[in-house]
Homo-oligomer: A and B are copies of this chain.
C-alpha cells in the first residue's frame, strides 16, 4: 500500500472500490426515479446522451464489460483480448423501456456482479494480472476495477451536468457562478 501523501490521489483498495460500486445505483435512482419525462430525456446537444441513455449504457456495462473482462484476464491473461465494448448498445436495448425498469435492472445487475466479484476472492497478486484491451493494449486487473469505479462517477457527473444545463438560461446572471453552466473548469 502506497502512503497517501495528499488527499488528491488514492491507491486502489478492493473494499473501497466495492463501497463506491455498491452505492452508485442507489444514488442514480434517488436522483432520477419519477422525474418528469423532459428531465430524463434531456440532452446536451446532438450525439450526446440523456440520463435515460446513460442508465442503459451502465446496464450494458454490467452485462458485457467489467466482471466479464475480469474473467478474461484471470482465465487468459494477455493471450485473449477483451471483446470490444459497444457504446451504442443501449439505444436498441432501452427502446420501449421505462426508466424505472432500467433503474431496477441496473441495481440488480450491479448487485449480482458484486457478488460474483466477491466470489473470485481476488488477492493483491491477482490485481497485478494483465490482460489485453483491444485498443489500449496491456492493462491490469487493478486498472480495470479502478476504471469501473471512475466510470460510474464519470456518468454521475454527466447525468448531473445534463440536468443542470437545462436551466442554463433560466438562472440569468447567476450563470457566472455556476461552473457546470459557465463551462469553467474547477
By a beta-carbon cutoff of 8 Å, the part of chain A in contact with chain B is: 4, 6-12, 15-16, 19-20, 23-24, 26-32, 34-36, 38-39, 41-45, 48, 50, 133, 136-137, 139-140, 142-144, 146-147, 149-151, 153-154, 156-158, 160-161, 163-174, 176-181, 183, 185-186
List chain B residues, Cβ under 8 A from A183: 185
Given known A10-B167, A29-B30, A38-B7, contact A139–B173 (CB-CB < 8 A)? yes
Q: Which residues of B contact A146 (CB under 8 A)?
A: 167, 170-172, 174
Across-interface contacts of A137 in B (CB, < 8 A): 173
The residue of chain B having its C-beta at the shortest distance from the C-beta of A34 within the complex is B19
Kindly report how many copies of this chain are found in the complex they form together: 2
Task: Collect the chain B residues with CB atoms within 8 Å of residue A35's CB.
Answer: 19-20, 23
Contacting residue for A180 out of B6, B29, B30, B153, CB 8 A:
B153
By a CB distance below 8 angstroms, the chain B residues around A4 are: 38
In the complex, the chain B residue whose C-beta lies closest to that of A163 is B153
CA distance A21 to B4 in the complex (A): 36
* Cross-chain contact A170 with B11 (CB below 8 angstroms): yes
